[in-house]
Amino acid sequence: MIEVEPLPKGRYLLGFSGGVDSSALFFLLLERGVEFDIAIVDYGMREQSKEEVEYAQNLAKKYAKKCFHAQAPKFQSNFESQAREFRYRFFSKVIAEFAYEGLLLAHQLDDRVEWMMMQFCKGAGLNTLLGFDFVEVREGFKIYRPLWKVSKKQLYKYCQDQEVKYFEDCSNYADKYTRNQFRGAISSLPINSASGMIRSFDLLMQERDRLYPKVKPCFFGSITSYKREDEERDMHQIDLWLKREGYVLSFAQRKEVLKSNFSCEIAKQWVIERDVRRIYLAKKAEAILPKDFKDLMRRLKVPHKIRPNIFLDSKSHEEIKNFFIN
C-alpha cells in the first residue's frame, strides 16, 4: 500500500501532466477523498502533448473535476527557467481566483535522490542537497508534495495494478541529458532501499533545522529582507529564497556572494544587498530615479541595488523612512 502524506482539510489544485507520477496521484487522492481539481500546461514540445491535455480533460469530466489548461508560448532560450515561471504564474492565478487551499505536485522520492546526487556532484551544502520539503510556502499560496516519500517503482506498480493510464516522455531516456544519467542510476537501485533513503532524508532534515532555525522574513513591496545573523545563516536564507524563485546557486556563485559581502547580482535576474541590520533580496529592476528620490536614498543609506525596486513599488517617502529607520 502506498503511504500518501496527509493533507490539511481543504480543496486543492493538482498540477497534472499525464505522466506516471501525477496520474497515480490523481487516483490516490480520489481513494482518500481529497477534494481537488487539476491544471495542465501544454508546452507544445512533443506530438503527444495534445493527447495528454485531452486525457486530463477526460479524467476531469469523468470524475467531476475542473480542468484548467494553459498553452505556453514558444520560449526562445532558457526553456526550463521560462517554462517554470510560466507554469507557476498560471497555477498562482488559478489558485487565487478559485481560493484553493494550495497546489499539489507529484514530486516523489526518486526526484529527491536525483536532485541530491546532481547537487552533490556540483558541490553543494546541506540545504541545497536536500532539495524540496513536503510543504513549501510561496508568495500567495502553499505547495504540498504528498508523494515525497514514495518511490517511482511503487507508482509504476500502482498504475499497473490499478490499470491507470499514463504517458511516458521519451526525452526522459535520452542520455544526452545529464539528469537522465542520474535517473538511470537511481532506477537500478533495489526497491527495498527506499525505506533507508527516507530515514536518511528525515535525519538530515532534522539536523538542518537544528543548524538553521526558521527566520521570519520581512516584506517591503517587491523586496524580501531578513535580519542579519552570521555569514552561514545569511547564506542559508539567500539559498532558500532563490530556490523559491526556481534558481539554485552554484558553488562559484556562493563564493562570489561571500566575496562581495552580500552585495551583488545573480544571473542578471536577482539582486542581493545588505546594510548593518538586514539582508535584502529582490528581482533585478531598472528605473531612472528623480533627484529628490536619490537624495532620500542617500540620507537613509539605502543599499544601491534595491533603490529601483523601492521607486517602482511607489512607496511614499514616509513609508520608506519608517522601514529603513525602524
Locate all alpha helices (DSSP H) within the chain, ordered by sequence: 20-31, 49-62, 79-98, 109-122, 126-130, 152-162, 178-187, 194-211, 231-244, 251-259, 291-300, 307-312, 317-325
Q: Note the pLDDT of residue 260.
A: 96
Question: pLDDT for 226-236, tens place per residue?
Answer: 999 999 899 99
DSSP class of residue 191?
G
Q: How does residue 13 score in pLDDT terms, banded at 50, 70 and 90?
A: very high
- What are the respective helix, strand and coil percentages of the chain, to the nearest 5? 50, 15, 35
**pTM across the whole model:** 0.82
Q: Note the pLDDT of residue 190.
A: 65
Question: pLDDT for 53-102, tens place per residue?
Answer: 999 999 999 999 999 999 988 887 778 778 888 999 999 999 999 999 99
Mean pLDDT of the region 201-223: 90
Amino acid (1-letter code) at residue 192: N
The closest of 302, 2, 5, 288 to 136, measured between CA atoms, is 5
Cα within 13 Å of Cα(139), Cβ side: 16
Question: pLDDT for 279-308, tens place per residue?
Answer: 999 999 999 999 999 999 999 999 999 999
Mean pLDDT score across all residues of the chain: 90
